[in-house]
Amino acid sequence: MKVTIFGSGYVGLVTGACLADAGNDVVCMDVDQGKIERLNQGEVPIYEPGLDELIHRNSEAGRLRFTNDADLAVAHGLLQFIAVGTPPDEDGSADLQYVLAVARSIGERMDDYKVVVNKSTVPVGTADKVRMTIARVLEERGEKLPFSVVSNPEFLKEGAAINDFTKPDRVVVGSEDERATRLMRELYAPFSRNHDKLILMDVRSAELTKYAANAMLATKISFMNELAGLAERLGADIESVRHGIGSDPRIGYHFIYPGCGYGGSCFPKDVKALARTARGANFEPLILDAVEAVNGRQKQVLFRRLEEHFHGDLAGRTIALWGLAFKPNTDDMREAPSRELMEALWAVGARVRAFDPEAMEETRRIYGERDDLALCDGPYQAVEGADVLAICTEWQVFRSPDFQRIKGQLRTPAIFDGRNLYDPRSLNDLGFVYYAIGRGDSVRGNGA
């Protein structure tokens, strides 16, 4: 099938590469000429395991092309995917200017039937706006051309996106048009060979499903973080509690790991946008507001503990920081807890020595060169000469370090673990002061 994808960001590139790998003829369109030039030279602008190889293989085979020529893009695809950004406005609502700009572009150039597929995460009612935008442009052109607008939200986890696309749990399609539905079934058939994974519903329900999924997962995280705070005050261990409740199949183990808060491009933005949608419908989103408030508080936990540990005297201190990306297996630092921690430390005169396996260049892009930030070549280089160690991301490389080496490098043998990577008693026995999330006062040793 001939497919056009507007937007060569995370969702657009993964979608385009995976559809091309299934044999489709895909053109990815982006207005950023520099990005298109880099992609045509084989440079992939984001880190996602396996994506480089997938893009290179399909580009060389001629199934995947990149362009900033809107005429070519609209003429190419029977299916026109919209996968552009929907950044939050000041009030938390999703900004649809890029989505509607693509809709106008399609309406201005189409000369035959098109299926316009909303892949971007958009508020309920966006498909209606896209439909009205295209219809208005066609009317201005004096054309009466058939088209369909469907919703096909993405459910990709950063770090596992290719597997999520090629082996999906479900493919949600919001469509009220039989022709468009048939084409969407054909497009996704290679990814549903064991059984039909396509879940068909009306467009508005599909749009809400995406927000509901992310809000539910964010809710589970914030709920566990709230329980972690309670566990600390009661002298309980949240890890034991997690095992106790996770074994219940009605709850399960997914997304019940306490930590220093969630980040990324989806959860923070989508919770805010859904809450804004609720208020626009005269409905008070009590749980969504609480989810966001708990996460905001949780992102401050590591800084507050550092302040308490040093009795409010952080000026001139050096903090080693392991993990800058908001989660492992990505270089994405949007809304990352590490950013809130670093910025709070800098505000009180502390310095940071940081390492992340993938997000170092992204950190340089965001913060530039600073006297109070040293980006180190490895985890032990970050620890060398620092006062204490803080951990914000649970990369695999951090799970089994040489603790004796760390203890010899730190000025004070103290670890502030925002992801509960280590066994508290083992670290106490090694002479560390170990601050974890929700693991009770008993985990804090005296050091040596």
Q: CA separation (Å) from 127 to 70, 149, 160, 216? A: 21, 6, 28, 23
CA nearest 72: which of 115, 35, 28, 40? Answer: 28
Q: E strand or H helix at 29, and its extent? A: strand 25-29
- The span from the CA of 367 to the CA of 376, in Å, is 15
CA nearest 116: which of 66, 177, 201? Answer: 177
DSSP string covering 288-325? HHHHHHHHHHHTTHHHHHHHHHTTT--TT-EEEEE--S
Q: CA separation (Å) from 13 to 58, 348, 393, 416? A: 12, 40, 25, 36
CA nearest 181: which of 200, 165, 196, 162? Answer: 200
How big is the chain, counted in residues? Answer: 448
CA nearest 112: which of 70, 80, 137, 145? Answer: 145
**Chain position carrying tokens 């088209």:** 147
Q: Which two tokens stand for residue 431?
A: 């002479």
Position 334: which residue type? R
- The span from the CA of 326 to the CA of 392, in Å, is 8
Active-site residue, selected from the candidate residues 28, 266, 376, 392: 266
- The span from the CA of 101 to the CA of 307, in Å, is 47
CA 418 to chain centre: 18
**Chain position carrying tokens 């001629």:** 62
- The span from the CA of 268 to the CA of 271, in Å, is 6
**Chain position carrying tokens 């497919």:** 3
Q: Give the helix, strand, coil percentages of the chain, each rounded to 5.
A: 45, 15, 40
Beta strand 147-151 with 114-118 is parallel
Asked whether 324 and 393 are in contact (CB, 8 A), the reply is yes
| Strands of 254-394, DSSP E | 318-322, 351-355, 373-375, 388-391
Is 266 part of the annotated catalytic residue set? yes
CA 425 to chain centre: 33
Helix, strand or coil for residue 174? strand
Active site residues: 266
